Amino acid sequence: MSNQIRKIISIFFSLGLLIFVLTGCDRAKIVDDIQMLSILGFDKEDHEYIGTALYSDYTEEKKEGKILQTKAEKTKLILKDMNNQSSKPIEIGKLQLLMFSENLAKDGISDFVKTICRDPLIGSNMIITVSEEPTEKILNNLTEEGNDYLPKLIEQNFKSGNVPISNLQLFLFDYYGKGRDVSVPFIKLNEHGKVEVKGYAVFKKDNLSLVLNQKEMFLYKILQGRSMNGDMAFKVSKGKQEDQPVLTSLYGEKIDSVSKHESETKVTYTITLHGMVKDYPDWLDLRKKENHKLLTRELEKQMNSDLLKLLRKFQDHDVDPLGVGDLVRAHSKKWVEEEFYETVYPKVIYDINLSIQLHQSGIGE
C-alpha cells in the first residue's frame, strides 16, 4: 500500500471519528433540552381525563421524580397540555410504564391504545398496568423513589415472583389478535403507602372485566407458560395433623392441545413443573418415600383442581386471556369469533395433565 493511500485512509478515519464525537455531543445537548416522561398515568373524573406524568430533570444533580398533570376531554390533548406546562418539549419515546386507574379501565382504554400505545417511538418493552387507586395518588408517592422504582419493581416480580410477564408487544398482540383478551399487572398502595403488585387485571376487549388475586395470578402464570416460576401454599394432612407447606416452582413446560367430537370441544393442558417444597412440618419426614409420594399427590390434586377452577372462572366472566379461541381457530376450517364466544367457549371442556417433580435434599433423586 502506497503512502498516498495510507494518507487518504488516515484522513477519512479522522473525519469519521470527528463526526462521531460531534454527533455524540449534539445528542447529549438534545437530552438536556427535552423532558423525557418515564411514567404516564390516566384517571377519569366525570367527562374529563386526568393525565399525570413522572419525569426527572437530567440537568439537576438530584434525580428526584417530578410531576406534570393536566385535564382534558380528549386523550390527544393530554400530552399537548402537558407540553404547555413544561419549560422543555415533552417526549414519550423513553416511556417505561403506562398506568390506568381501575375506574378508567372499566370504562374502556381504546382511545389510549390508539393515541399512545401505537406510537412508533415507544419501545416494545414498556409495561402497562391497572391501579386500584387513582394513578395521580400512586405517582405522587413515587417522587422520592425516582422514575425507575416502579418499573423495576414490576420487572423483578416478572423474573422472580408470581407475576406473569407482560409488555407493550404482548399487550398489542392480545389486543388486536382474534380469539384472545388482554391482561396486565394490577397494582395498589399497601397499608404502608408502598406500591405492590396485588393481582392481575383481565380485560374483555378494551374494558376491565376481572381482577385475579395472588394465588390465581400464579396459576395463570403457569397456564401462560412463558415463565413458570413462583410460589404457592397448599394443604397437606396425615392423620389428624395438617399444615400448609409452600411450593416453589423453579421451571416447567406446557403443551396445549385441542380435540373435537361432534359439538364438543376439549382443550388439554399438559404441564410439567420442577420445584421444591419449603416450610413443610416436622412431622412430615420427606426422606421417607411414602411421605414424598403423599406430598406430591396432594400437591398435584390441589393444583389440578385450582387450575380448572380458574379456567371456569374465565368462562363465567366471558374473558379469554389464554387465547383459547385462537388455539381452537388454528384447528378449525371455519371459525367466527363472535359465534365462538357466544356458543362454543362457555361449553369448552378442560383437562389438566399435571406432573410435579420435586427436587430437594431428601426429595426425588
CATH number for the domain spanning 284: value is 3.30.300.210
DSSP at 343: I
> Is the Cβ–Cβ distance between 42 and 49 less than 8 Å?
yes
Q: Is residue 236 part of a domain?
A: yes
User: Of 170, 185, 212, which residue constitutes the final position of a domain?
Assistant: 212
Cell numbers for 264: 364438543
Structural domains of the chain, count: 2
**204 and 247 assigned to the same domain:** no
Cell numbers for 89: 418539549
Mean of all residue pLDDT scores within the chain: 87
Cell numbers for 117: 400505545
Band the pLDDT of 132: cuts 50, 70, 90. Answer: very high
**352 and 234 assigned to the same domain:** yes
Segment 226-232 shows an average pLDDT of: 93
Band the pLDDT of 293: cuts 50, 70, 90. Answer: confident
**120 and 254 assigned to the same domain:** no
> Is the Cβ–Cβ distance between 162 and 218 less than 8 Å?
yes
**224 and 120 assigned to the same domain:** no
**231 and 348 assigned to the same domain:** yes
3-state secondary structure of 70: strand
pTM value? 0.87
Is the CA virtual torsion 359, 363, 364, 365 positive or negative?
positive
User: Of 212, 232, 256, which residue constitutes the final position of a domain?
Assistant: 212
Band the pLDDT of 157: cuts 50, 70, 90. Answer: very high
Band the pLDDT of 60: cuts 50, 70, 90. Answer: low
Amino acid at 135: T
3-state secondary structure of 330: coil
Residues with Cβ within 8 Å of residue 21, at least 6 apart in sequence: none
Segment 281-286 shows an average pLDDT of: 78
Band the pLDDT of 5: cuts 50, 70, 90. Answer: low
Q: Please choose, from the candidates 95, 15, 100, the residue with its C-alpha nearest in 3D space to the C-alpha of residue 55.
A: 95
CA atoms of 287 and 281, how far apart (whole Å): 13
CA atoms of 147 and 89, how far apart (whole Å): 18
Cell numbers for 102: 381501575
Q: What was the pLDDT predicted at 16?
A: 53
Q: Is residue 18 part of a domain?
A: no
Band the pLDDT of 51: cuts 50, 70, 90. Answer: very high
Band the pLDDT of 289: cuts 50, 70, 90. Answer: confident
**38 and 161 assigned to the same domain:** yes
Question: At residue 171, does pLDDT exceed 70?
Answer: yes
More reliable by pLDDT, 363 or 54? 54
Q: How far is CA 346 from CA 223, 315, 320, 336, 339, in A?
A: 18, 6, 11, 15, 11
Residue 299's domain comprises: 215-365
**148 and 288 assigned to the same domain:** no
CA atoms of 323 and 179, how far apart (whole Å): 6
**280 and 165 assigned to the same domain:** no
pLDDT 10s digits, 22-42: 544 444 446 567 788 899 999
H or E element at residue 49: strand 48-55
Q: Is residue 93 part of a domain?
A: yes
Question: At residue 174, does pLDDT exceed 70?
Answer: yes
Segment 253-263 shows an average pLDDT of: 91
Segment 121-147 shows an average pLDDT of: 92
Q: Is residue 23 part of a domain?
A: no
CA atoms of 17 and 24, how far apart (whole Å): 11
**242 and 340 assigned to the same domain:** yes
Give the lowest-confidence range in 26-35, 80-89, 239-248, 257-266. Answer: 26-35
Question: At residue 18, does pLDDT exceed 60?
Answer: no
